[in-house]
């Protein structure tokens, strides 16, 4: 029998509330009880872990990540896809996964391997089997893009050469349905679609899949029991995705209030990815003293979503900036208008609902999985204290 562990922190934060004097009892991979010490019952057989000065929280979640990418100021996206082997990128992803877990993020949704095939499915298995350390993964395999609408962009290379693509290409209802089925068959938990991309004559971002194509893709994914995430920067692509019945829209920088209202009505969640805009601005506009146009667009979209009451989860697009720094997204969300409690909810209970795992993850409750983090300080008052992770527990195992 697994020995039970009683965690005794300064305070417990869960589901938007701070509880002083609470303890959490862990048995096996689950939370056995949580509440005041006297409500826990007999703990004479328990290992007692005193955590003075610390806050115990549910493990954090980032629902837009790319473990198979690393910062573009180290190696450009094209060179990662074209010049780094899948084996090398998988080795990097193992290190990225451990760094993420140790930063307090016990669950990730990885939205596309960007040219590394289905290595995310194998990485998920290795983590689940205890071979490597990492967060719980929900994976998408290869994202699905319209033919010629992704990278490496053909116009930048010899047109008589074939080279790896960062995603699976499809055009027309028949092809996109087939592509969804291929991804599901290879182990994708989520289907990732690119609703728009930089396909205009001068590289402008424009919608790529028609309403009919998106409708068919989403219907097929749902028939297969897979939820759908859509990359969409433009207002039109966001509207098409919302009308198609997707579960989440990523980025949404140009989203109008009308479009976010449509998302709210159709129960489509929003993952704002604020940090990646900041990171890319740092790489490509060095010394910029004011927010770049991309950062300003991201802020407008985020504020529009807030104003319309859309469900907002935490998703950062980490990969183009260093893994293990995911908490930067939470700090940006607070900077642009969310309270610390709202941000913490987005990264825990709200994200759990988005994943369809509200009865297992995201809260400190009896029978939930024991995914917990201990931080020095009080995140509900100061989110920067999330950088001070003392230790992490995933499934009852301490790291």
Q: Which helix (H) or strand (E) holds 87?
A: helix 86-102
Q: What is the torsion angle, in degrees rounded to the nearest 10, for the CA atoms of residue 252, residue 258, residue 260 and residue 263?
A: -120
Rg over CA atoms, the chain: 21
pLDDT of residue 289: 62
Contact predicate 375/327, CB 8 Å: no
Contact predicate 62/349, CB 8 Å: no
Contact predicate 121/203, CB 8 Å: no
215: tokens are 């409708």
pLDDT of residue 157: 86
236-239: Cβ within 8 A, 24+ apart: 236/196, 236/207, 237/195, 237/196, 237/207, 237/208, 238/195, 238/263
Indicate the SS3 state at residue 201.
coil
pTM for the structure as a whole: 0.96
Q: Which helix (H) or strand (E) holds 183?
A: helix 172-185
- What is the residue whose two structure tokens read 């001070």? 388
As a three-state string, the secondary structure of 326-342 is CHHHHHHHHHCCCCHHH
Last residue of a domain, one of 338, 355, 372: 355
**Shared domain check, 225 and 150:** yes
Q: What is the CATH number of the domain that holds 14?
A: 2.30.40.10
- Distance CA(373)–CA(161), nearest Å, equals 49
What's the structural domain count of the chain? 2
**Interior CA angle at 131 toward 126 and 135, to 5°?**
60
17: tokens are 């509330």
Contact predicate 256/262, CB 8 Å: no
Residue 7 DSSP label: E
**Shared domain check, 87 and 52:** no
**Shared domain check, 166 and 137:** yes
**Shared domain check, 171 and 306:** yes
Phi/psi of residue 392, each to 5°? -125, 140
Indicate the SS3 state at residue 257.
helix
Residues, the chain, total? Answer: 399
**Shared domain check, 165 and 18:** no
92: tokens are 């990097």
pLDDT by position in tens, the chain (length 399): 468 999 999 999 999 999 999 999 999 999 999 999 999 989 999 999 999 999 999 999 999 999 999 999 999 999 999 999 999 999 999 999 999 999 999 999 999 999 999 999 999 999 999 999 999 999 999 999 999 999 998 888 887 778 889 999 999 999 999 999 999 999 999 999 999 999 999 999 999 999 999 999 999 999 999 999 999 999 999 999 999 999 999 999 999 999 999 999 999 999 999 999 999 988 877 776 678 889 999 999 999 999 999 999 999 999 999 999 999 999 999 999 999 999 999 999 999 999 999 999 999 999 999 999 999 999 999 999 999 999 999 999 999
- Distance CA(94)–CA(92), nearest Å, equals 5
- Distance CA(159)–CA(63), nearest Å, equals 36
Which domain does 389 fall in, by range? 5-58+362-398
**Shared domain check, 158 and 290:** yes
- Distance CA(47)–CA(7), nearest Å, equals 8
**Shared domain check, 148 and 13:** no
**Shared domain check, 212 and 312:** yes
Largest CA distance in the chain: 73
Under 8 Å CB-to-CB from 1, ≥6 apart: which residues?
none
**Shared domain check, 326 and 214:** yes
**Shared domain check, 91 and 17:** no
pLDDT of residue 160: 79
**Shared domain check, 142 and 43:** no
The counts of H helices and E strands in the chain are 13, 19
Q: What is the CATH number of the domain that holds 246?
A: 3.20.20.140
**Shared domain check, 381 and 309:** no
Indicate the SS3 state at residue 271.
strand
Pairing of strands 228-232, 17-20: unpaired
């Amino acid at each position: 029998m697994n020995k039970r562990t009683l965690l005794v922190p300064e305070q417990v934060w869960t589901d938007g509330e701070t509880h002083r004097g609470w303890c959490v009892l862990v048995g096996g991979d689950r939370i056995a009880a949580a509440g005041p010490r006297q409500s826990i019952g007999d703990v004479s057989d328990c290992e007692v872990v005193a955590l003075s000065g610390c806050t115990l929280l549910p493990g954090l979640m980032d629902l837009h990540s790319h473990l198979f990418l690393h910062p573009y100021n180290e190696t450009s996206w094209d060179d990662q896809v074209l010049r780094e082997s899948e084996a090398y990128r998988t080795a990097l992803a193992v290190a990225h996964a451990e760094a993420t877990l140790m930063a307090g993020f016990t669950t990730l949704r990885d939205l596309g391997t960007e040219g590394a095939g289905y290595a995310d499915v194998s990485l998920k298995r290795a983590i689940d089997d205890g071979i490597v350390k990492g967060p719980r993964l929900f994976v998408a395999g290869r994202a699905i893009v319209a033919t010629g609408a992704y990278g490496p962009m053909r116009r930048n290379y010899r047109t008589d050469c074939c080279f790896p693509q960062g995603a699976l290409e499809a055009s027309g209802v028949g092809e996109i349905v087939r592509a969804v089925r291929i991804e599901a068959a290879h182990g994708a938990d989520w289907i990732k679609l690119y609703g728009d991309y930089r396909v205009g004559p001068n590289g402008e971002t424009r919608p790529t899949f028609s309403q009919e194509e998106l409708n068919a893709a989403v219907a097929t994914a749902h028939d297969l029991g897979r939820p759908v995430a859509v990359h969409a920067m433009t207002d039109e692509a966001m509207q098409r995705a919302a009308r198609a019945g997707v579960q989440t829209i990523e980025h949404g920088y140009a989203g109008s209030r009308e479009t976010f209202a449509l998302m709210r009505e159709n129960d489509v969640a929003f993952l704002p990815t604020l940090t990646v805009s900041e990171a890319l601005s740092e790489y490509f506009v060095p010394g910029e003293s004011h927010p770049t146009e991309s950062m300003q667009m991201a802020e407008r979209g985020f504020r529009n979503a807030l104003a319309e009451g859309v469900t907002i989860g935490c998703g950062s697009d980490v990969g183009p900036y260093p893994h293990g720094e995911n908490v930067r997204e939470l700090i940006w969300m607070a900077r642009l208008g969310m309270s610390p409690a709202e941000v913490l909810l987005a990264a825990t209970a709200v994200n759990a609902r988005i994943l369809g795992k509200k009865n297992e993850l995201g809260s400190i409750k009896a029978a939930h999985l024991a995914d917990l983090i201990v931080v020095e300080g009080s995140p509900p008052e100061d989110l920067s204290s999330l950088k001070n992770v003392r230790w992490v527990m995933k499934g009852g195992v301490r790291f």
